[in-house]
Each structure stands twice: as structure tokens, then as C-alpha cells.
């Protein structure tokens, strides 16, 4: 039994439109507006030039010729459009059979035979080891973790890696402040916060002593020279910072397959650059700096690869890291999750790698600024919004909501539910925006049980569970499918058809906000259905049909939330 998705429809139509490829037909198929009770619409404008007829004539002629397969339930001509309603029996049976696997691109056995999984490396969040993870890192982590989940769901081999930027002047500033004011103290709080306090302290010291910048540069020089005392302090403070990061990653259920440290390879990219210079790929300026000429070939600004004094810069290290990741994971695709302020840098990095013959598939998943209602983050003054503080605030807000709604729960149950709801609110609110957009994260708004929020989706799932429990019946897939003919039911069924396409689009476009937006639409359509189509009724056959329908809705909600790293709740 073939499930009728857009690909199946395009494959079928290709038999009748031989001068268009399946891919071209797929790109033409549209989702009709909600008031039209059909799953897909095919516009015939593109065919007019070839067939020398009006689009409306073509639509009628094509419909007259079509012998619909069993996955198409109804065909109707509407002017220049051919509308298709897909077979909802096939849809619901596919959802019930595949459960959470329904959305997989190649869940269908005939496609699985030709599927070859890719090795995909996703690099995030790449923090500096001189202060805690902040709000910007939260967005980075959620995008990185979700894009990893999507590729894993599609059965690719995904390797999540993290680059710790653990050397440089910014690290030495925290070290210098600790040496001056720390009195050899050990952390009395979360260790990355302890280290971050000294980065803030450095800014205070700088206001009192204008020469402290020179001391920091001197400490960096001593670090480069492997001074034992400086290196010992550096190892100690870095260890504290990384230990703290791991506590934060755990709160977001993030585990890395490998962590890289800049200090271990920052000089190793020099060999690749010098090799490129010797081959005439790069140029050496009069001051001794080695430069990649990107203007003529790539229309990009030229990029310095090695400073005039022979020291490396970020791009030197990233050149080497690209080769190292290839060696470690033999990847087919490498995805970098980095903010849009680095857009130009990644164009230059990828161009330089291409120049030296590194042709592997690379993608910069760029994202925009996130801020709070109070305004942008200000890290150096110590006003940064720490990830841990944000998580704590979300749990507290969720606890207050749980306390209001479910005062009879035990304290343990309240805390457990508050944690699930708080993290769901945080994840969903951030992920519902396109990665490329800037937005304001409002903690209070995100925790609401109404509106475009995670708790709203969780509540929809729990409401379905409550209806099923109240019915007291086992779900039976052997229903009378023709009873599901109300316009609200048709709208819900149509929306359910689109889930595999949304998963595929999310992967093709590296776009993590399509799943949240889909779930919002699905839950809104479900609530509209529920308000006018009572599930529990005196009509036993209709009740069983609607119970089966809402169980399938529930399966898709759970599958979508799983992709976002959000737990479902059976009671809310």
C-alpha cells in the first residue's frame, strides 16, 4: 500500500506529463488554501507553452485522462488547477504502522533499498573558556542539537563535535585577574561562573590601571613560550571552565562525540598555508604576511592566513581542523553552527579550502541575534545573560504556573513537571524562529499555555490523551474511514499528510523552525476540529473513527517534539 505524499503524486503525474521531470512536477505542486478541502493542487500554467492551450483547458483534459491510483481519493478541476485529495485510509494506517518513524524520508521500504547514510559532522557551540555559556550559546546549542536530531532521524550517521577556544588574549585576561585578586581560591560555585567572575574583574582592574593590557599581552607571550607557571594556571582555570560547560550541556541533554581544543592544534595549520605558498596558490606580502587572493576568483576580500611575524590566526587553525575532522570522521558533510557576524569569514574559509584542493561538502548554518526584552547582552560588564540563570528562571516560572494549575500534586511531581515544561518552553520559543532571524526571547511569554509556545503543544498532546482515557476504549485501526468527512476532519488529515515533507524541507534547507511552525498549525487545526467535532458520542462507529484519528495526531505531535528535544506530558 503506497502512502500518497507529494513525491508519490509527482511520480504518478510524470506518466501523463512526459516533458517535465518528477523534480519539476514536485516543485510545481502546491498546498491549497485551507478553505479548499484538498491535500494538493497542481497548477497547469507551466504546461500552456508546451501544449498551446489555456491552463484551464489543460487541467480539464489532463483530469479526463487520469486513472487515479488507490492513494488518490478524489480529483477535482478548479479553473487552471487540478486538486487532489489523498487517500486518508492510507495516511492513517501509515502513521499507525510507522509510529514515530512516519516522518522519515525513506520510511517506505522501496526507497530504503537505495538509501545510503551519510557521515555528517555538526560543530557547535564553540565557546571561549573564560566565561559561562550565555543566551547566544543557548540558541547555538538548540540549533546544533536539533539539526543533529533531524539528520539522525533521517538515519544518517551524525557526529556532534565541540571546539573549545581555550587560548588567546581573552583567556589571559581572566587568568591575570585571578592571579592578582584570586588568592589561589578554588571554585565555591559552578566552576565556569567562578572563572567568568575574573573576566568581569579584569574589566574593573582595567579602569583602575591602564597598563594592565600590557600585562595581559605579556602573559600571552609567556603562554606562547610555554612558561611553566603560566601554563599551570591556564590548565587549572580551563579545567574549571570546561567542567562547568559540561554541567550546562547536561541540562540540555547534549553529548559530544568529540571535543577539540584550540590550544592543541593552533600552530598546525601553518604547514597547509606554507604548502599553498610554495605551490603558488597563496602570496606573500612585503611585510611577510601570507595572503589568499580571493577578490578575482570569488569576489571576496583577500584574507590574511599567517601574520607577518609568522603567527597563526583563526583561519589558520580552521584550515587544519577541517582536515582533522575529515580524518576523525571521514565525513560527507561538515556543518558549522556559527552566528551571522561570521558570514563573510566562512565564505573566505570555504574559498581558501577549495583553493588548496579540499573539496569536501561544507555548510555554514548561520543564525541571528537573540536578546531579552531588556536589550542586548553586554558581556564585558558582567551583564551577560548566563545560560544557567536562564534555565533556572524558566524552571521557576514553570513551577509558579504548575503551582497555580495543579496545587494538589506532590512537591516532587510539581518540580518534575516544572522542569519538563520550563525546558520545553525555552527550546520551543527559540526554535520557532528561523535561524537567520533576530528576535527577542520573552521568558514570561514562552511559558504560556496559550499562543505559539511549547507548553501549548504539550497541552494539546495531553488533551488528546485525556480524551482517549475518558473514552475507556482501546484504539482500533479497523474503522469506517468514510465517516471522517467533516471539513474540520479533512483539514486535520491534510495537515497530517505534510509532516514527512516538513522533515525533508527542514533537512534540505537546514531550517530548524519548520517543525515548530508545523506543530503549531497542527495543534491549532486540532483544537478547531475538537471544538466542533465531539470525539466521544452516542455514534459508536464515529467515536472509534475519531479516536483513531486523534491517536494519529498524537503520534505526529510526539514525533515532532522528539525532534526538538522536548518531552511530552500525558497530563497537564
Q: What is the pLDDT of residue 374?
A: 73
pLDDT tier, 347 (very low <50, low <70, confident <90, very high otherwise)? very high
Give the separation between CA 232 and CA 81, rounded to whole angstroms: 72
Check if the beta carbon of residue 79 is closer than 8 Å to that of residue 56.
yes
pLDDT in tens, 15-51: 999 999 999 999 999 999 988 999 999 999 999 999 9
Vertex 160 angle, CA 554 and 457, to 5°:
20
Bridge partners, residue 291, by sequence:
283, 304
Check if the beta carbon of residue 179 is closer than 8 Å to that of residue 237.
no
> Distance from CA of residue 94 to its chain's centroid?
26
- Look at residue 239 and tell me whether its pLDDT is greater than 90: yes
- Look at residue 254 and tell me whether its pLDDT is greater than 60: yes
pLDDT in tens, 41-91: 999 999 999 999 999 999 999 999 999 999 999 999 999 999 999 999 999
Model pTM? 0.94
- Within 13 Å and on the Cβ side, how many CA atoms surround 335? 28
CATH for 119-266+317-371 (3.40.50.2020, 3.40.50.300, 3.40.228.10, 3.40.50.620): 3.40.50.620
**Nearest CA to 382 among 142, 153, 193?**
193
Write down the mean pLDDT value for the chain: 94
pLDDT in tens, 326-336: 999 999 999 99
Give the separation between CA 23 and CA 10, rounded to whole angstroms: 8
Per the listing, cell 593552533 goes with: 266
C-alpha cell at position 570? 500525558
Residues 6+ apart with CB under 8 A from 403: 414
**Nearest CA to 395 among 431, 428, 424?**
424
- Look at residue 543 and tell me whether its pLDDT is greater than 50: yes
Q: What is the pLDDT of residue 309?
A: 86
421-563: CATH number: 1.10.730.10
C-alpha cell at position 235? 590548565
Q: What is the pLDDT of residue 238?
A: 98
C-alpha cell at position 550? 486523534
Vertex 567 angle, CA 563 and 571, to 5°:
140
Q: What is the pLDDT of residue 266?
A: 86
The percentage of the chain sitting over the pLDDT mark of 70, rounded to a whole number, equals 96
Q: What is the pLDDT of residue 109?
A: 47
6-86: CATH number: 3.30.1360.70
Per the listing, cell 530504503 goes with: 112
pLDDT tier, 185 (very low <50, low <70, confident <90, very high otherwise)? very high
- Look at residue 106 and tell me whether its pLDDT is greater than 70: no
Give the separation between CA 541 and CA 535, rounded to whole angstroms: 11
Q: What is the pLDDT of residue 35?
A: 87
Average pLDDT (518-533) is: 98
Domain boundaries, the chain: 6-86, 119-266+317-371, 421-563
Give the separation between CA 31 and CA 495, rounded to whole angstroms: 10
pLDDT in tens, 431-479: 999 999 999 999 999 999 999 999 999 999 999 999 999 999 999 999 9
- Look at residue 111 and tell me whether its pLDDT is greater than 80: no
Vertex 265 angle, CA 259 and 271, to 5°:
140
Q: What is the pLDDT of residue 383?
A: 61
Average pLDDT (373-385) is: 59
- Look at residue 134 and tell me whether its pLDDT is greater than 60: yes
pLDDT tier, 115 (very low <50, low <70, confident <90, very high otherwise)? confident
Q: Where are the beta strands (DSSP E) in 274-328?
A: 283-284, 290-292, 303-306
Amino acid at each position: 500500500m503506497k502512502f500518497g505524499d507529494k513525491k508519490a503524486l509527482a511520480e504518478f503525474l510524470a506518466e501523463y506529463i512526459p516533458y517535465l521531470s518528477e523534480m519539476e512536477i514536485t516543485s510545481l505542486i502546491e498546498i491549497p488554501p485551507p478553505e479548499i478541502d484538498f491535500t494538493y493542487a497542481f497548477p497547469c500554467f507551466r504546461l500552456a507553452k508546451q501544449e498551446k492551450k489555456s491552463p484551464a483547458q489543460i487541467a480539464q483534459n489532463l483530469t479526463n485522462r487520469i486513472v487515479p491510483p488507490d492513494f488518490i481519493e478524489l480529483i477535482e478541476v478548479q479553473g487552471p488547477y487540478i486538486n487532489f485529495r489523498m487517500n486518508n485510509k492510507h495516511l492513517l494506517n501509515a502513521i499507525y504502522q510507522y509510529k514515530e518513524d512516519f516522518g522519515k524520508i525513506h520510511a517506505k521500504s522501496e526507497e530504503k533499498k537505495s538509501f545510503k547514510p551519510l557521515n555528517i559532522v555538526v560543530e557547535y557551540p564553540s565557546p571561549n573558556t573564560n566565561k559561562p555559556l550565555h543566551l547566544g550559546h543557548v540558541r547555538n546549542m538548540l540549533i546544533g542539537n536539533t539539526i543533529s536530531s533531524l539528520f539522525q532521524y533521517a538515519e544518517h550517521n551524525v557526529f556532534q563535535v565541540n571546539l573549545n577556544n581555550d587560548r588567546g588574549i581573552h583567556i589571559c585576561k581572566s587568568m591575570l585577574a585571578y592571579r592578582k585578586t584570586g588568592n589561589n581560591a578554588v571554585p565555591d560555585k559552578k566552576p565556569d561562573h567562578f572563572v567568568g567572575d575574573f573576566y568581569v574583574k579584569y574589566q574593573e582592574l582595567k579602569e583602575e590601571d591602564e597598563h594592565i593590557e600590557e600585562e595581559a599581552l605579556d602573559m600571552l607571550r609567556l603562554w606562547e613560550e610555554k612558561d611553566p607557571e603560566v601554563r599551570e594556571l591556564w590548565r587549572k582555570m580551563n579545567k574549571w571552565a570546561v567542567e562547568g560547560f559540561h554541567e550546562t550541556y547536561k541540562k540540555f541533554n547534549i553529548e559530544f562525540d568529540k571535543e577539540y581544543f584550540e590550544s592543541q592544534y593552533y600552530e598546525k595549520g601553518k604547514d597547509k598555508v606554507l604548502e599553498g605558498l610554495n605551490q603558488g596558490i597563496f602570496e606573500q606580502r612585503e611585510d611577510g604576511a601570507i595572503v589568499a587572493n580571493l577578490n578575482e576568483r570569488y569576489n571576496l576580500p583577500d584574507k590574511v592566513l599567517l601574520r607577518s611575524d609568522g603567527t597563526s590566526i583563526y583561519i589558520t587553525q580552521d584550515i587544519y581542523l577541517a582536515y582533522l575532522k575529515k580524518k576523525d570522521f571521514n565525513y560527507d558533510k561538515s556543518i558549522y553552527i556559527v552566528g551571522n557576524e561570521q558570514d563573510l569569514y566562512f565564505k573566505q574559509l570555504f574559498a581558501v579550502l577549495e583553493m588548496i584542493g579540499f573539496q569536501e561538502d561544507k555548510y555554514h548554518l548561520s543564525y541571528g541575534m537573540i536578546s531579552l526584552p531588556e536589550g542586548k547582552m553586554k558581556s564585558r560588564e558582567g551583564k551577560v545573560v548566563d545560560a544557567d540563570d536562564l534555565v533556572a528562571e524558566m524552571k521557576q516560572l514553570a513551577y509558579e504556573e504548575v503551582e497555580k494549575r495543579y496545587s494538589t500534586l506532590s512537591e516532587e511531581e510539581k518540580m518534575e513537571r516544572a522542569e519538563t515544561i520550563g525546558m520545553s518552553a525555552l527550546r520551543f520559543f527559540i526554535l520557532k524562529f528561523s535561524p537567520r532571524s533576530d528576535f527577542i526571547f520573552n521568558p514570561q511569554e514562552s511559558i504560556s499555555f496559550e499562543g505559539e509556545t511549547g507548553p501549548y503543544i504539550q497541552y494539546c498532546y495531553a488533551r488528546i490523551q485525556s480524551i482517549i482515557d475518558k473514552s475507556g476504549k482501546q484504539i482500533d485501526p479497523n474503522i469506517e474511514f468514510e465517516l471522517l468527512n467533516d471539513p474540520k476532519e479533512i483539514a486535520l488529515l491534510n495537515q497530517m499528510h505534510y509532516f514527512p515533507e516538513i522533515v525533508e524541507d527542514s533537512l534540505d534547507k537546514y531550517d530548524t523552525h519548520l517543525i515548530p511552525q508545523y506543530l503549531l498549525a497542527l495543534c491549532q487545526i486540532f483544537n478547531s476540529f475538537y471544538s466542533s467535532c465531539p470525539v466521544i458520542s452516542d455514534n459508536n462507529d464515529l467515536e472509534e473513527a475519531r479516536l483513531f484519528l486523534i491517536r494519529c495526531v498524537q503520534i505526529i505531535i510526539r514525533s515532532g517534539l522528539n525532534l526538538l528535544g522536548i518531552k511530552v506530558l500525558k497530563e497537564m
